[in-house]
Structure 1
Amino acid sequence: MIDITVENFETEVIAASMQVPVLVDFWAPWCGPCKSLGPILEKLEVDYAGRFKLAKIDSDQEQQIAAMFGIRSIPTCVLLMNGQPVDGFTGAQPEGQVRAFLDKHLPPADAFDEPQDEVPDPLAAQEDPAAALEKLQQAVAADPANDDARFDYVKALLQQGREDDAKVAFAPVIAKAGVSRKLGALKVWMDAIDSVAMAADVSSAGAEFDTKIAANKRDFDARFGRAQWLIAQQCWTDAMDELLEILMRDKGWNDEAARKTYVAVLEIIEPPKVKVAEGQIPPQDPVLASYRRRLSSVVLS
């Protein structure tokens, strides 16, 4: 068990969860149910002998982290694996229910008893990108009206740099881009790629935007161009940071182009929905939650 602060959060939670699941317990000294749940979690960390790591966050002292996770009540526990929240629960659950929660996600105990050279590489177990793409293509072919499947397929093509194939796959639904948030987000992405491709020297475009912005912080055309350049490179958070710079200075600039593009990026990076059992809270990506709050803060200010 380790106490988490802003200073060690990245190392002890995000980075650590790439190696072993991390169960984050949001608590506070005044919280009665927290005092009941805490000893159970600490006991289970010992019983599970390294199968997960317990990280405790005082939600009063570390309000920034609690806000990142959208914590509204305590105790709240969130399980992170490979840097991402995968599940969670609220309230002082009895030991049996916490064990059931852990057993649903953690690797079996005997996996830790295997010789190191026999432990399978988790990356090797993941589906080959080409095979995953083929499945998405088949899903679209089987049901061309399934916009969710088409969104996933086009998104996967763009992620792999196959812009021409993505445009072909997107063509049948391009008319819906104005009324569908998901499909509209894909169009924003492809428009950004096209815009960058038109630059005389793509490699130096970023530096040119930086020079213009340094000379005039209200050069919104340059800021928006830089945001598109970042989107084309799939640098999502950097792109949203640039768009926020526009929004903080002029929310309505260019028919709210910055806000609309920001929302499109949020849609693109939204992780797949995770089913949770009754009484549990759906996990939230802390980065995504943080950028949603930042947008709301700027737009509503």
Structure 2
Amino acid sequence: MQPRNMSMSGAVDLSAVKAAAEAKQKAEQARAQRAAQAQAGGPQAANAVQLVIDVDEASFEREVLQRSTEVPVVIDFWAEWCGPCKQLSPIMERLAEEYAGKFVLAKIDVDSNQMLFQQFGVQGIPAVFAVIAGQALPLFQGAAPEPQVRQVLDQLIEAAEQRFGVVGAPVDPEQAAQAREAAAQGGQVAPEPPGDPALAAAHAALDAGDLGGAVQAYENVLADDPANEEARIGLGQAQLLRRVQELDPQVARKAAAERPDDVAAQLDAADLDLVGGHVEDAFGRLVSTVQRTAGEEREAARVRLLELFELVGPEDPRVTAARGALARVLF
């Protein structure tokens, strides 16, 4: 849950993806081309910079390696089924706009880009890396609170400027956001629909890492609107993250390994598995716990498994498979 201090000595060699020297050469060409396009299009064209981009294996060289010689590229490895990713991604996207060109956020869906997932040695998601001048730096793993994310980004930007001479091109974040929205909607920027202030406050508490406040805020929303699906999922995420935040991962995993029949230890380890992106491990652990136990202990494991199903999403194939496994051990 805590981001690691950024260390320049921890740079990952991306030669297996593409040689940095070749990327830098191509970046110089791309930089000249963009400068010409900006000059031809005037100030608005220069400002219409995408600060948040979706990247896949085909576009990685262009959007990450080449771009990293001009501006630090922060990579957010995520997946649709990952509950903690849904907490972290809005923070990262908002900070990309706020930092206004000091870094570019590249979002990589691990389910669709397994090669990149493996190349970076990602152990679990969400996982955040940076690429500067063709070199990758591991930043942190897990849904870190915003103040700590800011601290890591500040360290990254300072290192990019001092060690690599890579600085971003300042842009107008409002114009950049409008340009991205207009492109996504065919040139039409739609107004944001009115939202529920109480739900917005709950989301804000979750984004800020105030997990206790988020739990209370979501519970307040559900007290007034028990059918609010967004609040229910948000509450589940906040509760999961609060449970994990209170754990020592090494101690919890050691306890689970040494005491397979200790339901509380298995519940803790399953939470860690899910937050780390090891969805099938979390589900398999709890199905096995249900199979080995009875009475209140079995029910506790079953209920926790159903809660994790909700966080991942009922349509995810891993949930479907685990539901079948659960049914077999129950009946």
TM-score interval (norm. to shorter): 0.3 to 0.5
TM-score normalised by the chain length of structure 2:
0.35
TM-score normalised by the chain length of structure 1:
0.38
